[in-house]
Every structure is written in C-alpha cells, then in structure tokens.
Amino acid sequence: MPRMTGLMIVLLAIEFLDEFVFGIREAGWPLIRDDLDLSYAQIGILLSLPRLLGSVVEPPIGILGDVWKRRWLILSGGVVFVAALVLISASQSFLYLLVAFILFYPASGAFVNLSQATLMDSETDRHEQNMARWGFAGSLGVVLGAAVLGGAVLLGVGWRVLFLSSGVATVFVLVVARGMPLGGDSGIGQSGAMAKDLKQGIFDALRTLKNFRCCAGWCYWNFRT
C-alpha cells in the first residue's frame, strides 16, 4: 500500500475540517437557535440563501483553479474560511450569522473543492483510492463533529468555542499547507494550455456563429426570391 505523503495528509485534513464544521453546525442548530433567538424562517434563510449564492460563485472558482493560480485560490479560500468561522463564533444576531455563512460557502468551495482537485491531480493513476480516502476523511469529520458537540454540551462548553477552535485548527493546517505544492498538474503545468484552448474555443464559437448567420441570411433571401 503506498505511503501517505505530506501533501495528501494536508489535503485530507482540509476535507476533515470542513466536514467537522458541517457536523458541528448541523447538530448544533437547536443551540444556535436558542442562543440567537432565531425563528424558523430565519433558519430557513440561513440554510438556503448562502448555499444558493455559493452555487453561483463556486463554478467560476473551479474554472479559475484550472486556468489560473490554484495555490493562491486555495490559500485565500482558507483565510476566508477561517474568517467566516471566527465571525460565526462571534455572531450575536441573525444578520451577522447570515454574513458569516455567505462568506463560508464560497470560501469552502475554493479551499476544499480545489484541494480535492489537487489530490486527484497528484496521483492521476490512483483516483479511486484517493477518492475513497477523501470520502472517509469527510465522513469521519461529520461524525466526530456531531460527537464533539455532544461532549461539549455535557461539559458545559458552548457551540461558539467549537467554531473558534475549528478556525484555530484551520490556521495550523494553512501554515503547513503553505509549504506544499498545491498547484497540481492542472493548476500549474496545464494552465497556459487550457487558457489558450479556452480562447481558441471562444474564437471558434464566434466564427461558427458568424458563418451560421451568413448561411441563414443566404437561405432567407433565396427563399424570398
């Protein structure tokens, strides 16, 4: 069995932390609701609006991760990820929590999704094995997140401390990740070629559209005559 490399451990730790936070949040909704005196309508907005906005922002981030500086996007996403966790832990109202979640989703997309792409690019002949590791790290994070929250409640520790602690742990992972080759083959070796192919594809599409318009115009005039 191939040994776990330092890069692989860091990338799996990123996925673990993301799902750990998810586990804390999903299990902690009753605590968050009571602490901030949220209505069910506000909880619905917190669950839907940030996710909707994130689904709009994440695809361009994914494309940039293939044609631009993936390393910069991952690290920047990690910084915003930490900022969102700190803001969540300090939130005293619905509005602050909403802003924190709106920051969290695209940050997670850049930080986590591009880390997954880097893991896949690091060993192109072991996609299945690495996806299994990635899935296991995420599942473990969700389960432990909920379990840790339960233990924290028994000890009298609030949900805020867990979000803040997750942010501190993410800072540690970011410091380690700075020394890792986060670009991946797609983000470094193929970025110039992919950008060139993208430009060529746009040019070909415009040229095809122009030819189609000319052909349609020719058919129209011949039909009239």
Q: What is the pLDDT of residues 80-89, one digit of tens each?
A: 999 999 999 9
**Position 208 pLDDT exceeds 80:** no
- Res. 191 pLDDT band, cuts 50 70 90: very low
Q: What average pLDDT does the chain have?
A: 83
Pick among 3.90.1280.10, 3.20.20.10, 1.20.1250.20, 3.40.50.300: CATH of 6-185: 1.20.1250.20
**Position 52 pLDDT exceeds 50:** yes
What single DSSP character describes residue 5? P
Total-model pTM: 0.78
On whether the CB atoms of residues 89 and 164 are closer than 8 A, the answer is yes
**Position 187 pLDDT exceeds 70:** no
The number of angstroms, rounded, from the C-alpha of 134 to the middle of its chain's C-alpha atoms is: 14
pLDDT at position 202: 57
Residue 81, number of CB atoms within 10 A of its CB: 29
pLDDT at position 193: 46
